[in-house]
Amino acid sequence: MTDGVSQVSLEIGGSSIQFETGKLAKQASGAVVVSSGETMVLCTATAGAQRDVDFLPLTVDVEERMYAAGKIPGSFFRREGRAGEKATLTARMIDRPLRPLFPKGWTRETQLVSIPMSVDHEHPYDVLAMNGASAALMVSDIPFPAPVGAVRIGQDAEGNFLVNPDEEWLLESPLDLVVAGTEEAILMVEAGANEVTEAEILDALDIAHVEIKRLCEAQHELRAKAGKDNIEVAAPEVDESILSEVGERFGAALDDATQVADKLERQEATARVEDETIEALSGDPEADPDAYRERRAAVQLAFDKLEKDIIRKRIAVDKKRPDGRAAGEIRDIWIEVPAAPRTHGSAIFTRGQTQAFSVAALGTTRDEMRLDTLGLQEAKHYFHHYNFPPFSVGEAGFMRGPKRRDIGHGALAERALLPVVPRIDDFPYTIRVVSDILESNGSSSMASVCGSTLSLMDAGVPISAPVAGVAMGLIKEGEDYIVLTDIAGVEDHLGDMDFKVAGTANGITALQMDIKIAGVTFEILRDALAQAKDARLTILDKMREAIAEPRPELSPYAPRISQIQIDTEKIGSVIGKGGETIRALSEEYDAQIDIEDDGTVRIYAQTGEQGDALVDRIRQMTKEVEVGDEFTGRVVKTTTFGAFVELAKGTDGLLHISNIAPGKRPNTVEEVVNRGDVLHVKVVEVDRERGRIGLRLVDDPEIEGKSADELAAMGTGDRGPRGDRGNGRGRRDGGRRDRRPRDRDRERERAE
């Protein structure tokens, strides 16, 4: 069916992007299918009932469907549950550039839904969903003023920028930059980078905006073909006479209240002035309730505008911030490392009235985060979680798991630290960092970046460089503007930009920017990035004063992970028949043992002593026995001519009766040793052709102090056969079997 179907396509970054409407979900206010390659996303925009609220009732949902990638969900119920992290982060990237563009006064329930219907693992669905959500608004009857385009910028090994690169390539890219904006300006930036310079970021933004303009043109074309007439909306207007009266009677008091330095005291002082204003100017509620409600709403609108105008003018024109700081000044910082005695690594990072308590916990590779998503990545060995309890801002509220904001801020801090965290092959631990925000007055996500760095170094994680973060702001009034360093909550709420920058001394590792106005030039962005770099270096110096580098030793409460490489032919001897050997070792040393197919053995022990002992034991079990090697083994059999000592699983050596008691020969072996005794022995002969291993006690004066060559030359004289034909090979499922105990007994009898 093609009647009523409209399509628009264009090429971005070497791939075609197609917008189609009029075929699916036609009862939504607007519905667009956006596709590239074999990735296809359905995006809808729907306007519901009118709400009596003074805010925009907008909801953005991204619903991942595992069928899109040919997968079945891994949950117990085998169906999708609440949105995962990827879907939540994509929903936030859709929301952030679109929300500021909705007209004032639009209070109808509005929902944007994006459903990936097909994913080819070449063209990521998130950027397509961002473009599709804007296109759905453009063809709907919702009065959305201008289209928003979005692109992703990557970087190759030579430093060249790539537009909308393949998903697999992005896993190793030094830059993953998502940019959204209108034809006139950039509105949102989300980036992870491997210490990229500020100049490179600006170049990437410039390239991105060129492609964004083309995407906006395509959406205009789609609207011209299939767009609906917009619903009319009347923006609330401030009554100038009421505004003038509020200013005359309460302007001075409001000016004083908004200059109180302490956040809570400032809020209380402002609230008192607000209550006095509304009570004095709203009229008599009993005389005419309807008129009172209308007048009260008008007074509230005027008061809010006056408060915003006073603060913005003071900052942008008078260059005076609410807490008295200069534009580039950072709030006072104090740090405590460590902050909790039994944690693996912990820190308190406090900047002004924002405080993060960050804790690093180390686990085994079995503690990795399994990802059941539409993406290519299946597991994470490093992850960060951010919590924002209501008491951090002096409020009481429900605590029912992480909110979207918590997930977004946690992902930002995780992205900031990821380039400096060691790879799993170099540091075989799963690393989880949790940042609990105990107090907040702006820039809590960047405080969690700083706290996470400190807690990782306290835990002894060998990060390549410390990372710090700072939030930049902007107040622009006409031609006057000011870029603010380390913005507080009120500067974020009433400002025009929230620009979070994290990185090392060498470059940027993460970036998040939200702009509320269209007049932000590249010159302003350049100033903001330069100012952010100066602030970042200052904060890094403060952090180095608390802890200069990662601790050389892990916490005594952290698990000890050791890694050794063994011959793949020896894997079976470590595992044992039916896993009996590896289970016994795990129980004996209270440790976890993981063995890879390539012979990599990872040992996770509760203490370093246990781990070292287990490593030595496995080395003994898997190494080729050489003359001069020492073993502590158990006597597994006694005969008339000697005792057989187990050197490793499946490998025994003979301690001849003449060597059991140095200086004399007992009448029977049992006079000196019995089955089950543990002896410290040294190898004095290895006959690989006959499978014989000769032993002597370590305290035998005839062998003490002699080298392996001397022992080999000395041999065992004419004291008879010494050893068995054990090859030391264990069993792995599908591999060769160990010799049964009775087979070894026959060999010993033949030797006798």
Contact residues for 293 (Cβ-Cβ < 8 A; gap 6+) = none
Q: Is the dihedral of CA 362, 364, 367, 372 positive or negative?
A: positive
- What residues form DSSP beta bridges with 358? 347, 435
- Please state, in angstroms and as integers, the Cα–Cα distance from residue 642 to each residue in 1, 662, 676, following that order: 91, 13, 14
For the chain, residues with pLDDT lower than 50 are: 716-752
What's the confidence (pLDDT) of residue 705? 57
- Please state, in angstroms and as integers, the Cα–Cα distance from residue 606 to each residue in 27, 284, 554, 589, following that order: 60, 72, 12, 9
Q: Which of 140, 156, 210 minimizes the C-alpha distance to 181?
A: 210
Is omega for the bond preceding 338 within 30 degrees of 0, making it cis?
yes
What's the confidence (pLDDT) of residue 349? 98
Please, are residues 19 and 36 in contact by the beta-carbon 8 Å criterion? no
Task: Calculate Rg over the CA atoms of the chain.
Answer: 35
Contact residues for 223 (Cβ-Cβ < 8 A; gap 6+) = 138, 139, 147
Please, are residues 116 and 41 in contact by the beta-carbon 8 Å criterion? yes
- How far is 112 from 376, CA to CA, in rounded Å? 26
Q: Which of 130, 166, 136 minimizes the C-alpha distance to 151?
A: 130
- How far is 416 from 447, CA to CA, in rounded Å? 12
What's the confidence (pLDDT) of residue 704? 61
Please, are residues 707 and 628 in contact by the beta-carbon 8 Å criterion? yes
Give alpha helix (H) positions in 547-595: 571-575, 580-589
Contact residues for 222 (Cβ-Cβ < 8 A; gap 6+) = 6, 8, 19, 21, 32, 135, 138, 139
What's the confidence (pLDDT) of residue 702? 62
Please, are residues 67 and 123 in contact by the beta-carbon 8 Å criterion? no
Q: Please provide residue 165's backbone torsions phi and psi, each rounded to the nearest 5 degrees.
A: -70, 165
- How far is 174 from 177, CA to CA, in rounded Å? 10
- How far is 107 from 57, CA to CA, in rounded Å? 6
What's the confidence (pLDDT) of residue 715? 54
What's the confidence (pLDDT) of residue 494? 87
- How far is 715 from 694, CA to CA, in rounded Å? 8
Residues 620-629 as b/e (b if ≥16 CB within 10 A, e otherwise) read bbbeebebbb
Size (the chain), residues: 752
Give alpha helix (H) positions in 383-521: 404-417, 444-458, 489-494
Token output for 740? 């049964």
What's the confidence (pLDDT) of residue 195? 95
Please, are residues 158 and 72 in contact by the beta-carbon 8 Å criterion? no
What's the confidence (pLDDT) of residue 541? 97
- How far is 389 from 384, CA to CA, in rounded Å? 16
- Is the pTM higher than 0.75? The answer reads yes
Q: Is 432 helix (H, G, I), strand (E, B) or coil?
A: strand
Domains of the chain: 6-226 (3.30.230.70), 240-316 (1.10.10), 333-546 (3.30.230.70), 559-623 (3.30.1370.10), 625-752 (2.40.50.140)
Give the DSSP H or E segment for 472: strand 468-477
What's the confidence (pLDDT) of residue 743? 46
